[in-house]
Amino acid sequence: MKNNIFTFATKELSQDAVICWCVNWFNVAAKGSPLYEMAVDILKLFVNPNEASEIENEDKIIIHQQVCKADVIIYLPKAHILIIVE
């Protein structure tokens, strides 16, 4: 599966699409690769520093756009972390 920015970039929502595209490398890039590490680093910026170490224990993250008036929702199931970007 390719990580295509145009999957996320619809209409004028390109800023949200960039966030989604960047963190989605967590799902599609090989662990340890530069793109995977970029996604982890970005996710760590969104969470409490005490929770940052839990991110790397995730297998897959769930990303949604434009849900309940939130621009981006990122869910880390194992860590039970919900990130809302507005």
Distance from C-alpha of 71 to C-alpha of 19, rounded to nearest angstrom = 10
Residue 81 has pLDDT above 70, yes or no: yes
Residues above pLDDT 90, as percent of the chain: 55
pTM above 0.85?
Answer: no
85 strand-pairing partners: 72
Q: What are phi and psi of 74, to 5 degrees?
A: -120, 125
**Tens digits of residue pLDDT in 26-67:** 999 999 999 999 999 999 999 989 888 889 889 999 999 888
Distance from C-alpha of 19 to C-alpha of 34, rounded to nearest angstrom = 16
